[in-house]
Structure 1
């Protein structure tokens, strides 16, 4: 995968130390469901080695440097939940929107999903802006566990259906 300024590649064991530093920042970890805080090299190694077959995870790179991650978990044959994070030094440059947009294009095109879901913790206004730019529609709210905070956090949930023209990306309906 590629986008205007970023490239995307599978994450591997060599990325663990970089991921531990970037994702281990409290401001990143507290806005994700699964990243603990503190986040060690051992944690990053364990996460990388535990990526399941229903998960699609890609390193986000800018000029060959890992700056974040994007991915999805397949919920069923037609639907996936997307997620993303960008390291704090790169905030405010549109990288989260660019990376999530590239992931959406992949999901609707190559992966053939008909629906994508996502969410953000209620206090994550930056992610709310990204999700709005991507055209997701709010469908409700709930509570989701945050490993870094060690608590349930109010979460806003969204859905985005594949655009009608998305069928043309795959040569017809799935």
Structure 2
């Protein structure tokens, strides 16, 4: 189970539904990330069993209490929202509003990057953020992702709308250079 100084990254469990609902029912979280607000604990439980039931999708929990406060995951190859190869992955993430601005998402993403490159043999990681989601941009930037391209009028099936999405990338070689430079 991946962990960091402050966080545990672990599989989701059905009993995480109340804490997931508490964070994902806030209108400031889902829509800016491209998914609808959770409407009930039962809705959150369904998301845990479907969307969050994939391998390499983790609950972010504080070590202090092990309560789920967000999500970080890898969508590998064809499971990604991007047209990528089977040895590449998309990084998906979000965290509840009470935990914004504490550096927890970059901390979780960096551990997920290490896991992807060292344990899973991933050659490149991709990330997207919708226009106006500056917090997401800053998190990616702190982790070494660089802007690759922008897609205008991209259809978002979860909210049935069209958005501008900025796509960032980091290769294993770029990550290794960053890791060796900061060691």
- Residue deviations 1:39-86, cap 9 Å, x none? 322221221211488642111111122221100111143111011111
The answer as to whether partners of 2:21 and 2:38 remain within 8 angstroms in 1 is no
Structure 1 unaligned segments of length 5 or more: list them. 167-174
Secondary structure in 1 aligned to 2:129? strand
Q: Name the Cα RMSD after superposition.
A: 2.0
Which structure has greater helix proportion? 2
Secondary structure in 2 aligned to 1:128? helix
The answer as to whether partners of 1:55 and 1:74 remain within 8 angstroms in 2 is no
Structure 2 unaligned segments of length 5 or more: list them. 78-84, 177-183
Secondary structure in 2 aligned to 1:67? strand
Query: Which residue of the partner structure matches residue 6 of structure 1?
Result: 7
Q: Which runs of 4+ in 1 moved over 6 A?
A: none
> 1:71 and 2:73 equivalent?
yes
Structure having greater relative contact order (Cα 8 Å, sep ≥ 6): 1
The answer as to whether partners of 1:85 and 1:96 remain within 8 angstroms in 2 is yes
The answer as to whether partners of 2:12 and 2:52 remain within 8 angstroms in 1 is no
Query: Which residue of the partner structure matches residue 170 of structure 1?
Result: none
Query: Which residue of the partner structure matches residue 86 of structure 1?
Result: 95
The answer as to whether partners of 1:3 and 1:99 remain within 8 angstroms in 2 is yes
